[in-house]
Structure 1
Amino acid sequence: MTARSFEKRRVAQTDLAMTTLGLGGASLAGIFSAVPADQARATARHALEVGINYVDTAPQYGLGRSEHLVGEVVREASPRPIISTKVGRRLTPVSPDRQDKGNWVDPLPFDQLYDYSYDGILRSYEDSLQRLGLEKVDILYVHDIGAATHGVEGNKPLWAQLASGGYRALRELRDGGTVKAIGLGVNEWEVCMDAFGLGDWDVFLLAGRYTLLEQTALAPFMTTCIERKASVVVGGPFNSGILVGGDTFNYAKAPDDVVARVRAIEAVCKAFNVPLPAAALQFPLTHPAVCNVLPGPRSPAELDGILDWWDIRIPAALWSTLADEGLLAPGTPIPGGTA
């Protein structure tokens, strides 16, 4: 198979050059519905064959399953892609009949223990290397710290762990050359702003908050990323499915006002003969802080559909029309100017 020629963007001030399209490893681990292991491996292998050079995974995804599957494929790859995984959850063995599986179908027999401490982050990193079967990864994200996951009060002691020792562990790993970049992997931009108060970060994996449907992260977060020379990977470009014909937004049934906004955006896309998912997939890259868009296909066929949307040329007038109709937040970068 002939690899495509993807644009690459540099991750912050590192030497990592990331293809603007990546592969997210959550869906491969069977969230909400099962994904056979052979299908998951085939999807990851197909992504690398077509030229995608960035794969993200995490201990949480399938409670270890995603890291095992991704590692099997990556170990065979030459050259190796850029790999990111996450810290903040340690996996502890548990009997399957007592396990909290969450939304994972057939996860490995582990429960999650949140730990953002100095020792916890170092242990999480070592455990991930064991599951991946790799000697290193390139990027470490602090996973799901913040009020969205833990609640305001519940997050306070966990944030104290990160502030008092966890961040230092990450800095030591990066500054010593063990990993090349550190950041947060979250669904809320506000905690990323808090993180800037701890020190410097390289890249944030932000899901759902800077999409064609929602630009709440635009300011002050994205503007601060430019000022602090940090990059952004945009996860969840389809907002949990609402931008690919589904009815789910932020992992729940979409409210009427969100559905109405999607229909208005879709009408503009139809006027330019552009499928809504194609516009959703390509939109985040109009922002100069964004280095990658990270969808999560479940099969090689789904990945091929994403590639078809990726190849569609979107006229600049589509973005300016969305801006003129008030469907993009003021100040949103678009070709030729801002909304």
Structure 2
Amino acid sequence: MAIKQRKFGRADLTVTDMGFGAAPIGNFLKPISEETAAAMIERAWAAGIRYFDTAPLYGHGLSELRLGQALRWKNRKDYVVSSKVGRLLQPAPRESIDFAPWVDAAPFAIEFDYSYDGAMRSLENTLQRMAIERIDIAFIHDCDVFTHGAKQQAIYFKEAMKGCYRALLKLREEGVVKAIGVGVNEWQVCHEALKQGDFDCFLLAGRYTLLEQESLDAFLPLCEKRNAAVVIGGGLNSGILATGAVPGAKYNYAPAPQPIMEKVAQIEVVCARHKVPLPAAALQFLLAHPAIAVHVPGTRTVAQMEQNIAWIGHPVPSEFWQELKQARLLREDAPTP
């Protein structure tokens, strides 16, 4: 079995090294049927995946509803769930809600709320939507520049540390959750949070990949020192590390710029020489760093789920990684399998 169990940093949790990222089943960009969502979760379970990540944002609650439905009658001791705080959902008429980038989402308007009470209410609402008795990991969601812009981010980050963080500390002390963290799009925000707070873990979207290793400078070493676990989302940089440097390839949700296209094309040449699929290299690279406990690739179909499972089990020779480093396509200090 390609999927293995791993200790989740210093927390009293064990996760599988590949998780199920439940953003797509919130109907990200285009709808996924109830049947397909349920089938993907069942296939993940059959493959041995036991870590599932969701959030109120995903489909305005739809992801949590669907994931809860699929997990409800499984033995609660057998799996780990993470969700997030920082937004509250309010029932509203569908026609009044801006759902973008979600399609056919649940009829709830979203408002940011990084307060203490907001975090408590958010987690309670998540439990209600999922109809399971507990969440194992709670992340403070999107208190980053990508979401808010630089000026507003500084304000929201302070609010989150004063509000959400204190709430999650209390919940961890009471044993309501086993681990607390921050889930954002920039390693710098994670690094600042780890310097300021007693966090167990981080969910970092797209900022440690085969194309990006800046987080090796300060953030990942501090995680190692503190034994803080890292969950990697967006390990394929939202597309290009799955498709390769093809016309229209996406990099971080936008058309890939020319320098990225050129770098990926160079990596593909090395892949071809060693008979390694590019996505197999991209996904296996993530797990080589000792601070990274799990990665959560998002999938839209059962076929994509099958493909991810095959990629993480595909043989990759050590000479492949050596050649990438010699060609300066990968940082010399980046851990490799």
2:48 to 51, 72, 77: 51
**Match of residue 24 from structure 2:** 27
- CA deviation after TM superposition for structure 1 residue 334, in Å: 2.3
Q: Is the 8 A contact 2:3 2:47 kept in 1?
A: no
- CA deviation after TM superposition for structure 1 residue 198, in Å: 2.5
Q: Is the 8 A contact 2:284 2:312 kept in 1?
A: yes
Aligned length: 332
Give TM-score, length-normalised by structure 1: 0.95
Aligned-residue CA RMSD (Å): 1.2
2:210 to 195, 212, 229: 212
Q: What is the DSSP-based 3-state SS (H/G/I as helix, E as strand, rest coil) of the residue aligned with 2:298?
A: coil
Q: Is the 8 A contact 1:46 1:300 kept in 2?
A: yes
**Match of residue 170 from structure 2:** 172
Within a 5 Å distance, the mapping from 1:196-211 to structure 2 comes to: 196-211=194-209
1:301 to 300, 303, 317: 303
**Match of residue 18 from structure 1:** 15
- CA deviation after TM superposition for structure 1 residue 160, in Å: 2.2
Please tell me whether residue 107 in structure 1 is matched to residue 109 in structure 2: no
- CA deviation after TM superposition for structure 1 residue 243, in Å: 0.8
Gaps of 5+ in 1: none
Which residue identity lines up with residue 314 of structure 2 in the other structure? I
Q: What is the CA–CA distance in structure 2 between the aligned matches of 1:166 and 1:19, rounded to whole Å?
A: 27
Q: What is the DSSP-based 3-state SS (H/G/I as helix, E as strand, rest coil) of the residue aligned with 2:260?
A: helix
Q: What is the CA–CA distance in structure 2 between the aligned matches of 1:50 and 1:44, rounded to whole Å?
A: 10
Q: What is the CA–CA distance in structure 1 between the aligned matches of 2:20 and 2:295, rounded to whole Å?
A: 9
Q: What is the CA–CA distance in structure 1 between the aligned matches of 2:258 and 2:2, rounded to whole Å?
A: 40
Q: Is the 8 A contact 2:2 2:309 kept in 1?
A: no
Q: What is the DSSP-based 3-state SS (H/G/I as helix, E as strand, rest coil) of the residue aligned with 1:104?
A: coil
- CA deviation after TM superposition for structure 1 residue 329, in Å: 2.1
Within a 5 Å distance, the mapping from 1:69-80 to structure 2 comes to: 69-78=66-75, 79-80=77-78
Which residue identity lines up with residue 29 of structure 2 in the other structure? F
Within a 5 Å distance, the mapping from 1:1-339 to structure 2 comes to: 4=1, 6-78=3-75, 79-245=77-243, 247-335=249-337
Write the deviation string for residues 72-109 of structure 1: whole angstroms up to 9, x where unpaired.
11112235310000110111122211211111110111
Q: What is the CA–CA distance in structure 1 between the aligned matches of 2:12 and 2:208, rounded to whole Å?
A: 25
- CA deviation after TM superposition for structure 1 residue 156, in Å: 2.7
Deviates more, 1:160-169 or 1:141-150: 160-169
Q: What is the CA–CA distance in structure 1 between the aligned matches of 2:50 and 2:150, rounded to whole Å?
A: 37
Give TM-score, length-normalised by structure 2: 0.96
Q: What is the CA–CA distance in structure 1 between the aligned matches of 2:60 and 2:122, rounded to whole Å?
A: 13
- CA deviation after TM superposition for structure 1 residue 162, in Å: 1.6
Q: Is the 8 A contact 1:232 1:289 kept in 2?
A: yes
Deviates more, 1:18-27 or 1:71-80: 71-80
- CA deviation after TM superposition for structure 1 residue 158, in Å: 1.5
- CA deviation after TM superposition for structure 1 residue 28, in Å: 1.5
Question: Among the aligned pairs, what percent are the same residue?
Answer: 43
Q: What is the CA–CA distance in structure 1 between the aligned matches of 2:74 and 2:268, rounded to whole Å?
A: 39
Which residue identity lines up with residue 295 of structure 1 in the other structure? P
Q: What is the CA–CA distance in structure 1 between the aligned matches of 2:172 and 2:196, rounded to whole Å?
A: 15
Write the deviation string for residues 228-270 of structure 1: whole angstroms up to 9, x where unpaired.
1101111111100011116111111111111111111111111
Q: What is the CA–CA distance in structure 2 between the aligned matches of 1:76 and 1:302, rounded to whole Å?
A: 25
Which residue identity lines up with residue 32 of structure 1 in the other structure? L
Q: Is the 8 A contact 2:86 2:160 kept in 1?
A: no
Q: What is the DSSP-based 3-state SS (H/G/I as helix, E as strand, rest coil) of the residue aligned with 1:267?
A: helix
Q: What is the DSSP-based 3-state SS (H/G/I as helix, E as strand, rest coil) of the residue aligned with 2:154?
A: helix
Gaps of 5+ in 2: none
Q: Is the 8 A contact 1:29 1:62 kept in 2?
A: yes
